[in-house]
C-alpha cells in the first residue's frame, strides 16, 4: 500500500511508476516497456512520440485501463488501476477516460447519434436523456446537425469528430488518443488538432496523444519520447501552443462539417 499512497500523494492526474510489460516470444520474452515513470497533470496536453514498435500504444492502453497485464503502478484520475476488479475497470474506462483511435472504431451501420450514445449502454445506473446528451456531444464537435446520418456515409474527418463526441459522452477528465490524425487528410487533421486544443484550453480536458505527426506534437504543451521501452530524457516543453509554427501544407481552412 505504501506505493499507492506515494502515488496518490504525487497529485498528478496520471502517475505511472515502474511500468513494465513483456510478451512471451518463444522461450524468451519481448520486453516492450522496461520501467516507465511518467506524471501528467490535470489540464496538460502531452504528446507521446517514438519509433514504430516502441510501446506507445501499449503505454496508452495501460493508462486507460484497457490493458491490465503489466507490472508497476498506474494511478489515473484518482484510481489505482491495479486495485480495480474487471467491473470497476470497465466503469473507470466508461467514466474517467475517453478513447480516440486512428481507425475511428465507429459502428458503420448506426447513425452518428447512436454511435455517440453507445457509452450509455455501459454506464452504471444508466444515463439520463442519452439522446439529448449525444446531440450535445455532437454539437461540441461541430456536427450538431449530423445526428441521423449513418456513420458509413461520413468523411474521415467527420468520422473522427463523431468518435471524439463518443469519447466525450460521459464527460471524461482525460482523452487518450492513439494516432488520431493518422488516417486523415491534411485539412481534416488540422481541424481535429484545433478541436483537441479547444477542448484542452476551454474545457480543461487532459490530452494524451500518441502521434507520429510533428504538427500534433507541436500543438502539445509537452512531448515525451519513448524508445526501446523507456522514456527518453529531454522531454520538450513547447510552452504556449499559440507559438507553435503554422502547418502551411494546406491554406484552406474551410471545414467539411455538416456535409
Ligand X SMILES: Nc1ncnc2c1ncn2[C@@H]1O[C@H](COP(=O)(O)OP(=O)(O)OP(=O)(O)O)[C@@H](O)[C@H]1O
Binding site residues, Mg ion, CB under 5 A: 57
User: What b/e string do you get for 66-103 counting C-beta neighbours within 10 Å, with b at 16 or more?
Assistant: ebeebebbbbbbebbbeebeeeebebbbbbbbbbbbbe
Q: Taking CB under 6 A as the rule, does residue 222 contact ligand X?
A: no
What residue 171 binds from Mg ion, ligand X, none (CB within 5 to 8 A, per partner kind)?
Answer: none
Q: How far apart are CA 118 and CA 81, in angstroms?
A: 23
Over the window 29 to 58, marking each residue x when it contacts ligand X by CB under 6 A and - when it does not, the resulting string is -x-x-----------------x-xxxxxxx
What residue 58 binds from Mg ion, ligand X, none (CB within 5 to 8 A, per partner kind)?
Answer: ligand X
Q: Which CB atom, from 28 or from 128, has the smaller least distance to ligand X?
A: 28
Cβ neighbour number for residue 187 with a 10 Å cutoff: 18
Number of residues in contact with ligand X under rule CB under 6 A = 11
Q: How far apart are CA 106 and CA 185, in angstroms?
A: 18
DSSP, collapsed to helix, strand or coil, labels residue 187 as helix
> Which positions from 55 through 114 interact with ligand X, judged by CB under 6 A?
55-58
Q: How far apart are CA 159 and CA 168, in angstroms?
A: 14
Q: Which CB atom, from 16 or from 146, has the smaller least distance to Mg ion?
A: 16
Residues in the chain: 259
Among 6, 9, 10, 23, binds ligand X (CB under 6 A): 23
Q: Which CB atom, from 201 or from 212, has the smaller least distance to ligand X?
A: 212
- DSSP assigned state of 84: -
Q: Which CB atom, from 15 or from 57, has the smaller least distance to Mg ion?
A: 57
What residue 206 binds from ligand X, Mg ion, none (CB within 5 to 8 A, per partner kind)?
Answer: none
Residue numbers of the site for ligand X (CB under 6 A)?
A: 23, 30, 32, 50, 52-58
Amino acid at each position: 500500500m505504501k506505493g499507492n499512497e506515494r502515488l496518490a500523494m504525487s497529485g498528478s492526474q496520471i502517475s505511472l511508476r515502474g511500468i513494465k510489460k513483456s510478451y512471451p516470444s518463444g522461450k524468451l520474452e519481448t520486453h516492450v516497456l522496461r520501467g516507465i515513470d511518467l506524471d501528467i497533470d490535470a489540464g496538460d496536453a502531452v504528446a507521446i512520440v517514438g519509433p514504430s514498435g516502441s510501446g506507445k500504444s501499449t503505454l496508452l492502453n495501460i493508462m486507460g485501463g484497457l490493458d491490465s497485464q503489466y507490472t508497476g503502478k498506474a494511478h489515473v484520475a484518482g484510481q489505482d488501476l491495479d486495485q480495480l476488479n474487471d467491473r470497476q475497470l470497465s466503469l473507470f474506462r466508461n467514466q474517467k477516460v475517453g478513447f480516440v483511435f486512428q481507425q475511428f472504431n465507429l459502428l458503420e451501420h448506426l447513425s452518428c447519434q447512436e454511435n455517440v450514445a453507445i457509452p450509455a449502454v455501459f454506464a452504471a445506473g444508466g444515463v439520463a436523456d442519452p439522446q439529448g446528451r449525444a446531440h450535445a456531444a455532437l454539437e461540441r464537435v461541430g456536427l450538431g446537425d449530423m445526428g441521423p446520418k449513418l456513420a458509413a456515409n461520413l468523411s474521415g474527418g467527420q468520422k473522427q469528430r463523431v468518435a471524439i463526441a463518443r469519447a466525450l459522452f460521459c464527460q471524461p477528465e482525460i482523452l487518450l488518443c492513439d494516432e488520431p490524425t493518422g488516417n486523415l487528410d491534411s485539412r481534416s487533421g488540422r481541424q481535429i488538432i484545433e478541436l483537441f486544443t479547444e477542448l484542452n484550453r476551454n474545457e480543461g480536458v487532459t490530452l494524451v496523444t500518441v502521434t507520429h505527426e510533428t504538427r500534433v506534437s507541436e500543438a502539445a504543451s509537452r512531448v515525451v519520447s519513448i524508445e526501446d521501452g523507456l522514456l527518453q530524457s529531454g522531454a520538450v516543453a513547447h510552452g504556449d501552443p499559440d507559438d507553435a509554427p503554422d502547418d502551411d501544407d494546406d491554406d484552406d481552412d474551410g471545414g467539411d462539417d455538416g456535409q
